[in-house]
């Protein structure tokens, strides 16, 4: 078993190119107004470049979107009225950090990663989605910073003798971003367990 | 990935998702001040100032939520009754309101004077009870008297509350002087020289000295109290008060009583004027130095002159519920089920009448015209054109002309598409105009009162209200969830629409404010 681990460790420093799906949870009251179930589902791309046989520089981008329809009731007048509008939230996260792992054998390894995380959020509000030119369209943007840490398991399948491997992985961790002001419209914070599953090439 | 492509193709093709029902995002009862329009955002718990240049900004209330806005007469700011949550838990992890255990969460209240987008003195007004909901202003616009005009609304009692207190606030400095008078102030009037305030409360009228240079009475003291009854078991509730032109007398009518009290503010005496009916309204005709009374139960107008307070009665065709002063005399009308609009000369007792096709809802007086919105007449069964008028909302233009014995110029009655929701007046060198808003109609009608023709000014959304702005423009509120105001220039019919301000703080957690102060 020990020899298998050592062989795997020697394979830990491949270049990487991945696509993945991530889910980030948060119990943030602001985000709960923008997302129906309070979590952010994103798709992402991630690349890695080996700095050392046990250390990979990783960088990635994730994009998630959520929509919500609001109904509000004005009871200040004699006969009250109900109005509605929609929101669309687009969250882009840019990540850069380090990943390190050790192989269990030729085709599997455990790893851990710590990355800095920059969030660029856009929130759009529209009270008449059928009219693209109505004045009730509001757009706000904001930038926030944080960190994520995760541990994962990866397995790779060689693609013939090309030196390429097709990898599949899953990771679980925690993402924390400081409260981020999206213009004056929203203040959101990603602060919770996050998970990713993905696939990519190792070469 | 789909959303990325959608952003590229059409950024306003918003992703679908869930549905939330939230408290009203904004209160259309906005306050137009000289430095912008102030709007309360109930859901976000914020106050924003919207400017006609299309920008808006939050007013820093130090974390407090605006509950009530009270405009100032001059447009020099506004009063804000605000509340803020207090959590009796020092745990540093308790940051948001939701973090605080329910039994430890409380609410405190305060009143602030906001001018130029910020609180005067960067603090709340000292000691003003948050129950206030009404304000009266001195003639020079420098002093406000804040009080509770109880109308059945819920009153929050935090500890001990004195509902009988009137707070005099200097609008320049924000300094406050509180005066407790009688029980339940009903109405306040400033005398013409702004040196005294006449405060009507249950069973008494008090005169408060506002002049620090006065030798007769200390400033902020009650100088004179006029008891309206000598029987402590009897509650006499003042209904209305008017001051004669020179401020020497105040006439006070009493709810459900035929008597009118005449208060001599100079010699500090009180007299009683006995009428034959309970007056529904009274108004001072300053030009003729008389007070005019009308009755909803009698087809009669009474006039009392201000020297010996002798009463004269003049019969009319129909009872009236209201009377207002115009440039040529007094105008009496009925907003119940009668149709006469009577111009009355208080000096001679002569009058002439015009006919409103439908019962009056709201009547405003311009220099040469009175205009009225009218509701469908459910009590008259006319035929032909009359029946059509009866079935619809209407708009009446009543030329105001002196009572000379000649027949008055006929009123013009117009039929409206839907219920009127706003009425205002404007004038320029060309003539006088009424600005009229109709329910569900996204245009503002600018009616030339000289020829009853109307220009339509397009609005971005169906309007729900209109009010004057101190800068001469009109503010029209639109029926949208994200907030919409239109600044309408009545001279060139220009419209500047600002929308979206109600999104301020839409998705932000309610943070417990002033935690550091507490520590």
**DSSP code of B512?**
P
CATH number, domain at A100? 2.40.160.20
Mean pLDDT of all residues in A47-71: 92
Q: In Å, how far is B22's CA from the nearest CA of chain A?
A: 5
Residue B422, φ and ψ in degrees, nearest 5: -165, 145
**Gap from B78 CA to chain A (nearest CA, Å):** 19
The reported pLDDT for the residue numbered A79 is: 52
Domain assignment present for A75: no
Is B30 at the interface with chain A, CB within 8 A? no
**Which pairs count as long-range contacts for B103-109, CB under 8 Å and 24+ apart, including other chains?**
B107/B83, B107/B156, B107/B158, B108/B83, B108/B84, B108/B158, B109/B67, B109/B81, B109/B82, B109/B83, B109/B84, B109/B156, B109/B158
Instruction: Provide the domain limits for residue A175.
Output: 2-68+83-197
pLDDT score for B8: 52
Residues of chain B with pLDDT under 70: 1-12, 158, 379-382, 405, 517-519
Give, rounded to a whole angstrom, the gap between the first and last alpha carbons of chain A.
Answer: 25
Model pLDDT, residue A8: 40
End-to-end Cα separation, chain B, in angstroms: 49
Contact residues on chain A for B12, CB-CB shorter than 8 A: 124, 126, 129, 132, 137
pLDDT band at A104 (very low <50, low <70, confident <90, very high): confident
For residue range A26-57, list pLDDT tens digits in order: 888 888 888 887 788 999 999 999 998 889 99
Q: Is there a contact between A29 and B25 if contact means CB atoms under 8 Å apart? A: no
pLDDT tens for B375-388 read 998 766 667 788 88
Put the strands of the sheet holding B187-190 in their side by side order: B187-190, B196-201, B204-209, B222-227
Structure token pair of residue B203? 């069973």
- Please give, rounded to a whole number of angstroms, the shortest distance from the CA of B289 to a CA of chain A: 39
By the CB < 8 Å criterion, does B20 face chain A? yes
Maximum distance among all alpha carbons in chain A?
Answer: 81
Query: What pLDDT is recorded for position A13?
Result: 59
Q: Looking at residue A39, what is its pLDDT? A: 84
Domain membership of residue A187 (yes or no) is yes
Closest Cβ–Cβ partner in A37, A70, A77 for B481: A70
Interface mutation vs chain A, best among B17, B41, B60, B442, most A CBs within 10 Å:
B17
pLDDT of residue A74: 62
Q: How distant is the Cα of A41 from the closest Cα of chain B, in angstroms?
A: 11
pLDDT of residue B73: 83
**pLDDT at residue A80 is higher than 70:** no
Residue in the structure block whose two tokens are 């000292």 = B126
Which residue among B1, B24, B500 places its CB closest to the CB of A138? Answer: B500
Closest CB to B482 among A31, A88, A127: A127
In the structure, what pLDDT confidence band is assigned to residue A5 with cuts at 50, 70 and 90? very low
- State how many domains chain A has: 1
Report ipTM for this prediction.
Answer: 0.82
Interface subset of B 442-461, CB within 8 angstroms of A: 460-461
The domain spans of chain B are 59-180
Tokens of B508: 């932000």
pTM score of the predicted model: 0.84
Chain A residues inside the 8 Å CB shell of B18: 35-37, 67-69
Q: CA B320 to CA B293: how far, in whole Å?
A: 9
B43 to A72: CB separation less than 8 angstroms, yes or no: yes
> In B60-119, which ranges are continuous DSSP H helix?
none
A28 inside domain: yes
Report CB contact under 8 Å: A70, B22. yes
Chain A nearest CA to B464, separation (Å): 10
**B315 and B299 Cβ atoms separated by less than 8 Å:** yes
Q: CA–CA distance from A50 to each of A14, A59, B155 (Å)?
A: 6, 12, 69
User: How far is residue B480 from each of residues A89, A128, A163, B81, measured CA to CA in Å?
Assistant: 20, 9, 61, 25
Q: Give the nearest partner residue to A67 out of B16, B25, B505, using CB atoms.
A: B16
The whole-angstrom separation of Cα B313 and Cα B344 is: 12
Residue A47 has a pLDDT of 96
B465–chain A nearest CA distance, Å:
10
Task: Please name which of B468, B418, B472, B415 lies closest in space to residue B443, comparing C-alpha atoms.
Answer: B418
pLDDT digits (tens, 9 = 90+) for A145-180: 999 999 999 999 988 877 889 999 999 999 999 999
In chain A, DSSP assigns E strands to 16-25, 39-52, 55-74, 81-105, 108-126, 137-158, 165-177, 180-182, 186-188, 191-202
């Amino acid at each position: 078993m020990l020899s298998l681990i050592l062989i795997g460790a020697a394979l830990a420093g491949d270049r990487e190119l991945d696509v993945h799906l991530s889910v980030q949870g948060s119990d943030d009251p602001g985000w709960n107004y923008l997302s129906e179930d309070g979590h952010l589902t994103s798709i992402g791309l991630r690349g890695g470049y080996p700095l050392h046989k046990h250390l990979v520089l990783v960088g990635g981008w994730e994009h998630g979107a959520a929509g919500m329809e609001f109904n509000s009731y004005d009871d200040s007048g004699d006969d009250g009225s109900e109005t509605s509008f929609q929101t669309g939230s687009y969250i882009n996260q840019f990540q850069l950090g380090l990943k390190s792992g050790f192989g269990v054998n030729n085709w599997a390894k455990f790893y851990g990663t710590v990355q800095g995380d920059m969030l660029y959020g856009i929130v759009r509000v529209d009270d008449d989605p059928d009219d693209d030119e109505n004045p009730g369209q509001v757009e706000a943007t904001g930038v926030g910073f944080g960190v994520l840490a995760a541990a994962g398991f990866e397995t790779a399948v060689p693609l013939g003798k090309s030196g390429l491997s097709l990898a599949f992985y899953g990771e679980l961790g925690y993402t924390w971003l400081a409260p981020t002001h999206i213009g004056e419209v929203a203040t959101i914070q990603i602060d919770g367990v996050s998970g990713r599953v993905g696939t990519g090439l190792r070469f | 990935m789909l959303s990325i492509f959608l952003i590229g193709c059409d950024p306003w093709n918003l992703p679908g998702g869930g549905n939330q029902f939230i408290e009203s995002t904004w209160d259309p009862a906005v306050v137009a001040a000289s430095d912008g329009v102030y709007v309360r955002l109930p859901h976000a718990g914020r106050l924003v100032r919207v400017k006609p240049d299309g920008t808006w900004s939050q007013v820093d209330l130090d974390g407090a939520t605006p509950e009530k806005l009270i405009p100032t007469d001059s447009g020099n700011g506004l009063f804000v009754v605000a509340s803020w949550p207090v959590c009796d838990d020092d745990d540093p992890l308790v940051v948001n309101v939701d973090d605080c255990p329910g039994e430890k969460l409380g609410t405190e209240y305060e009143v602030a004077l906001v001018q130029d987008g910020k609180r005067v003195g960067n603090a709340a007004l000292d000691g003003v009870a948050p129950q206030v909901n009404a304000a009266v202003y001195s003639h020079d616009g420098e002093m406000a008297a804040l009080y509770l005009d109880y109308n059945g609304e819920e009153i929050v009692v935090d500890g001990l509350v004195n509902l009988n207190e009137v707070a005099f606030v200097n609008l320049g400095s924000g300094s406050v002087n509180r005066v407790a008078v009688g029980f339940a102030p009903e109405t306040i009037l400033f005398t013409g020289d702004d040196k005294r305030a006449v405060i009507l409360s249950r069973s008494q009228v008090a005169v408060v000295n506002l002049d620090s240079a006065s030798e007769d009475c200390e400033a902020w003291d009650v100088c004179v109290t006029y008891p309206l009854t000598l029987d402590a078991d009897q509650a006499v509730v003042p209904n209305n008060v008017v001051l004669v032109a020179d401020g020497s007398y105040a006439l006070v009518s009493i709810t459900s009583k035929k008597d009118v009290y005449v208060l001599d503010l100079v010699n500090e005496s009180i007299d009683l004027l006995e009428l034959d009916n309970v007056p529904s309204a009274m108004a001072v005709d300053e030009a003729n130095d008389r007070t005019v009374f009308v009755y909803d139960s009698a087809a009669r107008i009474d006039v009392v002159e201000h020297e010996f307070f002798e009463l004269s009665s003049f019969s009319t065709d129909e009872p009236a519920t209201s009377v207002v002063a115009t440039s040529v005399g007094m105008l009496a009308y009925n907003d119940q089920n009668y149709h006469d609009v009577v111009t009355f000369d208080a000096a001679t007792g002569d009058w002439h009448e015009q006919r409103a096709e439908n019962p009056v809802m709201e009547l405003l007086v311009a220099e040469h015209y009175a205009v009225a919105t009218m509701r469908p007449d459910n009590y008259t069964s006319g035929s032909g054109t009359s029946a059509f008028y009866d079935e619809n909302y209407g708009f009446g233009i009543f030329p105001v002309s002196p009572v000379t014995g000649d027949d008055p110029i006929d009123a013009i009655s117009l039929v409206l598409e839907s219920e009127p929701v706003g009425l205002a007046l404007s004038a320029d060198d060309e003539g006088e105009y009424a600005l009229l808003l109709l329910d569900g109609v996204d245009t503002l009608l600018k009616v030339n009162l000289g020829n009853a023709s109307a220009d339509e000014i397009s609005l971005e959304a169906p309007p729900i209200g209109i009010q004057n702005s101190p800068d001469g423009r009109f503010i029209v509120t639109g029926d949208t969830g994200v907030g919409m105001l239109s600044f309408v220039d009545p001279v060139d019919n220009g419209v500047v629409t600002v929308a979206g301000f109600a999104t301020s703080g839409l998705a932000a957690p309610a943070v417990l404010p002033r935690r550091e102060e507490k520590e």
